[in-house]
Each structure stands twice: as C-alpha cells, then as structure tokens.
Amino acid sequence: MFSYVFMKILEMRPRSYDRRMQKASRGRTRQMKEKIAGQMPEKGHVLEIGCGTGELAGFMVERGCTVEGFDLSPSMVGAAMERLEKENLSGRFSVKCMGVEGMDDFPDENFDAVVSTLALSELSDDERRFALKHASRILKPGGRLVIADEVVPRTKVRRFIHSVARLPLLILTYLITGTSTRPISGLSSQIKETGLSVRKEERSQGDSFAFVIALKEK
C-alpha cells in the first residue's frame, strides 16, 4: 500500500516532484489528476488549493479552464511558475504563495469549481474546516468541489492495517522533513456542514483514499 505521506519528502526536490511521485505511486497520482481534470466544466474558472508544481492546473487548462492556484511552499510555487512559463500558460494559470487563510480574500460565488489533491490532509482540523467553508462560499451556484485525499478507513480492521502500514513512513518523513500528513476523518460530513451536497464518494487503496465530488445547489 502506497502512503501519500511520502510526498512530503519528495517536496524537498520540487523540480523532480511529479516524476518521482509518478514512479512512487505507480502512476496513480497522474491518473488521479487526469480524472479530476475530466470533472471540470469546459472553460470553467477554477481554484486549486495546494497547487504544488501546477501539474493538475496544466491538465485543467488543456480542458479550456482558467485556473488560480495557491500553495504554502515557496519552492513548489517556484516550480509552478517555471511550468507556467515553459508551457506558456500565462493568462490561463496564475499562482500565489499563501496558505488557506488567504481564501477569505476571494469574492463570493466567483469560481465554477474548487479542487484539492493531497492538500487537506496536511491541514489541522480547524484549517480544513476553514478551507471547506470558504470553498463553499466562493463557488457559484451549480459549482462543484472536487477533492482527492488520504482518509481514515471506515472499519476497525482496515484502520488497523492502514495505521501499521503507514507508521514506518510517517516516522521517516517526520525525521527528514519535520512535517507530516494526517488522514482525514469524516471528510464527506465536513463538506456537508458547509451546505454543499456530496454527490459521489469513491474509496480505494484499502478504503484509505477518497475521491469526492460535491455540488453547490442552484
């Protein structure tokens, strides 16, 4: 079982991050991002929480979207800026170095979609609820929230297996980076608390990974 906590180590080398994540996840990260991009409305205005190197943003731009992204890591934002210039995404993709606290500056009902991949699990519970609350606020009526992230399995047996498999990598990551991630408990419930309607939740990887789509009712 691959643990996405490993990505914290890979972030130390942002220019090779996508390639190394692709190899470490056996292609799952790219497939996930392509799946998310496929959920975007054509020519939609999208906000990406934790945009990393901008790989997903590039896929969404290919679909005709205009993407605003932000990330707390200056090195990852730097890599995203390099992608912006290399792939000539200027005017279709913009990126800021900031945390989720900056989301309160976005105007109401401004985005057709808000997306997040492997970012919410890096936040505290309060930070995550703050991000989800503002995601709901800034979505246009009929807009969608799409999240892919590590979650707590729903049964005791799977929670035990997941925690045992995850622990060695968790310790290694913390020793190297001083940071880690935490699988999310009750993600769909937290989304529903914002007033959004959860339309789909797909689980994979031993019930430890969730792909969630929620809509803002018109």
Roughly what angle, to the nearest 10 degrees, separates helices 55-62 and 28-38?
40
* Residue 15 DSSP class: G
What is the per-residue pLDDT for 18?
Answer: 60
**Quick check: helix, strand or coil at residue 44?**
coil
Provide the domain limits for residue 41: 4-215
Instruction: Return mean pLDDT, the chain.
Output: 85
What is the per-residue pLDDT for 22?
Answer: 64
pLDDT score of 5 more than 70: no
What is the per-residue pLDDT for 191?
Answer: 97
Domain with residue 26: its CATH number is 3.40.50.150
Residue 204 forms beta bridges with which residues? Answer: 209
Tell me the average pLDDT across 85-89: 87
Q: What is the DSSP code string of 65-111?
A: -EEEEEES-HHHHHHHHHHHHHTT-TTTEEEEE--GGGGGGSPTT-E
Task: Give the C-alpha distances (Å, rounded to integers) separating 117 from 33, 55, 86, 177.
Answer: 8, 11, 23, 20
Give 19's contacts (C-beta < 8 A, 6+ positions apart). none
What is the per-residue pLDDT for 156?
Answer: 83
Instruction: Say how many domains are in the chain.
Output: 1
pLDDT band (50, 70, 90) for residue 2? very low
Span 157-210, pLDDT tens digits: 877 776 777 765 665 444 434 455 688 999 999 999 999 999 999 999 889 899
Roughly what angle, to the nearest 10 degrees, separates helices 17-24 and 28-38?
110
pLDDT band (50, 70, 90) for residue 100? very high
* β-pairing verdict for 111-117 and 139-150: parallel
What is the per-residue pLDDT for 176?
Answer: 39
Lowest mean pLDDT among 15-19, 32-36, 96-100: 15-19
pLDDT score of 12 more than 60: no
